[in-house]
Structure 1
Amino acid sequence: MKNSEPSTVNIDLQPGHAIRRLHQISVGIFLQEAGDLGITPVQYAALQVVGNQPGIDQRTLARTIALDASTTGGVVDRLEARSWMERRTAPEDRRARQLMLTAAGEQALAACIPAMLRAQEQILAPLTERQRSDFMRLLNLLVTQNNEMSRAPSEAAR
């Protein structure tokens, strides 16, 4: 094998690196806005989906928020430990568990929504309205077109 000089690549021009950084920033902003509520972005997503679809099963929740089943199980465990969510036996299949928000979970979700909206606004603040629209359109295109490459593809993106 021939010795060669190391390649020089500007990491800041790589989309994967920029996306990872934007994810870090997004989580940081979310925690800054919602930190006093003690909720993570993934917990918020789980609460919101279960709030939108009461009785959803854990596997469908995992596919909807693009998490693997074991990670989703841990998220539900933590939300259940906080008395924000509960598992109920599905009447049609006693092996299946339906997820429901408790009254405390509904209150936590309602309290989190304004913080989540502030976080979204702050993330997009550097962009004009037109840029925001273009960014979201292109971002959703990338997510949808690359969905199957994910270790936990989202059913919503299919």
Structure 2
Amino acid sequence: MPARQPVAIDAAKEGVKLGRLDDFLGFRLRRVQNSLSGNFAQAIASYGLRSGEFTTLALVAANPGISQNELAREVGLDKSVMVLIVDDLEKREWAFRGRSKTDRRRHSLSITPAGQAELDAMFAALERTEGIVEQGFSRAELNLLHELLDRMHALCIDAAA
């Protein structure tokens, strides 16, 4: 396997100056997120998913019995939007709602076998699209990046509380 070479981008050489945006994490994160999610959306366009459905299905698979409220909070979506997403996942027969065994007032969500099969196929597409970018980093760099992003997320949650 060839050694990974860091890719240095100088926005000024590309004709674009970031100006004051150069100092803000949110801008840099959004720029990367837009690129990665755009590539992934293109790779799974045939599914005709609305925004947030892949993430919701993946979180339901990882957290059987999760509530819609917990999902909305984790994904950062309004509860009413989450209802629409879960409705669509149910129509596709990829997920289903049930009553929580611990709190009858709340719905618990689970993935169906068909939903798991589709999710596996979408994760394969995600691995291909992100793999192109990940090749520019070592495993240690990726682990550090994940750790830092998780820490940033926790700080954002704490700041909102």
Provide TM-score, normalisation by structure 2. Answer: 0.72
What is the correspondence of 1:27-106 to structure 2 with a 5 Å cutoff? 27-39=37-49, 42-106=52-116
- Cα distance, 1:41 vs. partner? 6.5
Verify: 1:142 aligned to 2:152, yes or no.
yes
Verify: 1:132 aligned to 2:142, yes or no.
yes
Provide the alpha-carbon RMSD of the alignment: 2.7
Alignment correspondent of 1:24: 34
Distance in 1 (CA, whole Å) between partners of 2:66 and 2:143 is 31
Distance in 2 (CA, whole Å) between partners of 1:64 and 1:20 is 18
Distance in 1 (CA, whole Å) between partners of 2:143 and 2:102 is 43
Answer yes or no: is the 8 Å Cα contact 1:31–1:40 preserved in 2: no
Answer yes or no: is the 8 Å Cα contact 1:30–1:41 preserved in 2: no
Shift in CA distance, 111/149, structure 1 to aligned 2, threshold 3 Å: same
Shift in CA distance, 120/149, structure 1 to aligned 2, threshold 3 Å: farther
Distance in 2 (CA, whole Å) between partners of 1:56 and 1:135 is 27
For structure 1, list consecutive stretches of 5 or more residues without a partner in the other structure: 1-7, 154-158
Secondary structure of 1:146 counterpart: helix
Shift in CA distance, 110/145, structure 1 to aligned 2, threshold 3 Å: same
Secondary structure of 2:136 counterpart: coil
Answer yes or no: is the 8 Å Cα contact 1:29–1:123 preserved in 2: no
Alignment correspondent of 1:112: 122
Shift in CA distance, 37/123, structure 1 to aligned 2, threshold 3 Å: farther
Distance in 1 (CA, whole Å) between partners of 2:100 and 2:140 is 46
Alignment correspondent of 1:3: none
- Cα distance, 1:76 vs. partner? 0.9
Shift in CA distance, 125/28, structure 1 to aligned 2, threshold 3 Å: farther
Identical aligned residues as a percent: 28
For structure 2, list consecutive stretches of 5 or more residues without a partner in the other structure: 1-17
- Cα distance, 1:40 vs. partner? 5.5
